[in-house]
Amino acid sequence: MWSAIVEWRERPLWLTKEASCARWFWMASVGGVGFLIGSALLGWWGDVAVSQAVGHARWVSAYRPLIQAVSDWGLYVFYAFFLGVVAYAVRYPLPWPRTVALGWVWAELIGSLLAVQVIKTLAGRARPEQAWLTGGADQWFGLTLRAAYHSFPSGHTADAFISAAFVVLLVRSSVAGCLAWGLALAIAFSRIALAKHYLSDVLAGAVLAGVFTWLVVRRWRREG
């Protein structure tokens, strides 16, 4: 047993570039299945019905403080992790972890921040909590700078899914990858439960996360 523990501790912490790129394909496949399941729920019940069913559920009300904490602070777990990766990669000559961390920064800035914000501003979709004040109808107002009408797409979801994807692309441990995706899914769910986003907003945020993560991976593959 002791030899097994020693062997586990001696395993490299980070994946290689080739292993990271290979992981992208199975991760994208699993994500595609998840997207199809979410789309099926959306097509069967509709955005408004899903939002109200989740938001008004008894257990959501009972655990609202915890759900609020996940929504407010969950992303900071990812931020702290990648800041730690950058510090570690600077302290030790580790070019690949540094490359992955910089890829995460690029995907976050261009995808989660810039692209999401532009779409939010142009779409002008009322958040569920705002729509419920006017009878619960799904409302799109077009160009607006008001945060109450920035429901589509979900920036928290795009941010969380990009971060979880890069954890999986960097860290060898499958346990760490599962924990990262568990946190990302919890953040996405919290946005629906708190009436900040519809299911379609979350799905759109997930798609954007996949697109910008793929752009980074494609660049890695082209660089050989």
Note the pLDDT of residue 224.
Answer: 62
Is the Cβ–Cβ distance between 190 and 203 less than 8 Å? no
Any idea which residue has 């499958």 for tokens? 174
Topology classification of domain 30-223: Vanadium-containing Chloroperoxidase; domain 1 (1.20.144)
Question: Cis link prior to 153 (omega < 30° from 0)?
Answer: yes
Separation of alpha carbons 202 and 189, rounded Å: 8
Distance CA 50, CA 52 (A): 6
* Burial 148-170, CB ≥16 within 10 A → b, else e: ebbbbbbbbbbbbbbbbbbbbbb
Quote the pLDDT of residue 195: 93
Contact 200, 152 (CB under 8 A): yes
**Chain position carrying tokens 């060898």:** 172
What is the pLDDT at residue 88? 86
Collapse the DSSP code of 14 into the 3-class scheme (helix H, G, I; strand E, B; otherwise coil) and give the result.
strand
What is the separation, in whole angstroms, between the first and last Cα of the chain?
A: 39
pLDDT for the residue numbered 136: 64
Give the pLDDT score at 83. 92
pLDDT by position in tens, the chain (length 224): 444 333 434 457 898 889 888 899 889 999 999 999 999 999 999 998 998 899 889 999 999 999 999 999 999 999 999 999 988 888 888 888 989 999 999 999 999 889 999 999 999 999 998 877 666 678 898 899 999 899 999 999 999 999 999 999 999 999 999 999 999 999 999 999 999 999 999 999 999 999 999 999 998 888 76
The model's pTM is 0.92
Q: What's the pLDDT score for residue 137?
A: 75
Helices and strands: H and E segment counts in the chain: 11, 0
Q: DSSP letter at 94?
A: -
Domain ranges of the chain: 30-223
